Amino acid sequence: MAYGHSERRSSATRSSSATKIVISGGFGAGKTTFVGAVSEIMPLRTEAIVTNASQGLDVLGATPNKNTTTVAMDFGRITLADDLVLYLFGTPGQRRFWFMWDDLVRGAIGAIILVDVRRLEDSFAAVDFFEARKLPFLIAVNVFDGGPRYSADAVRQALALREGIPVLDVDARDRNSAKAALIAVTEYALMNLSSLPG
């Protein structure tokens, strides 16, 4: 009985760290799918049906089968270790909702930019956004069925990324693949933080 009490007290005093990661990218790049695949809780989704009212505002030609869009954020959580919990915030991809991005990234240590190489130009705004705010990020190329494949160097060159920014492939539908990307961005962010003076 005494042993159990001591063990509970030790567990209660063990420090744990909660960290915020942002999942970003263009419309239809797989952000909602990514958060849903990896979250250990039922993810919070703020999706709305795409209707004719958005004609002229939303470019849907490249994603004809997509009938919903995130209008605020996606939210999920994953425990990577006993003392490390990641809170995931997925940004809306539509340009008209970008005003929310500053609020969503506040307090984040890093970001994942999901990229669809068939619509690479949709990723430029996210790259510019995180570079301007000096928030560590990596590029996760979402491997869509039947989509073209390019090397990490080719993607880096196409996005005009500086050397050192990680570029990796991910299947946003697969928990292990998404988890590996989260571990990679966490390690990259911590490496960047430790290299700061002071």
Domain ranges, ordered by start, for the chain? 14-194
Question: Can you list the alpha helix ranges (DSSP code H) found in the chain?
Answer: 2-13, 31-38, 101-105, 124-132, 152-158, 175-194
Distance between CA 79 and CA 132 in Å, rounded?
A: 29
Band of the pLDDT at 10, cuts 50, 70, 90? very low
Q: Which two tokens stand for residue 129?
A: 């956004």
Cross-sheet strand order for the sheet of 110-115: 44-49, 68-81, 84-90, 17-25, 110-115, 137-142, 167-170
Q: Which two tokens stand for residue 190?
A: 């911590």
pLDDT in tens, 150-176: 999 999 999 999 999 999 999 999 999
Distances (CA, A) of 100 to 73, 96, 139: 9, 9, 21
For residue 117, with 0-12 CB atoms within 10 Å meaning exposed, 13-18 middle and 19 or more buried, which class applies? middle
What is the CATH superfamily name and number for domain 14-194? P-loop containing nucleotide triphosphate hydrolases (3.40.50.300)
pTM of this prediction exceeds 0.85: no
pLDDT in tens, 73-98: 789 999 998 889 999 999 886 665 66
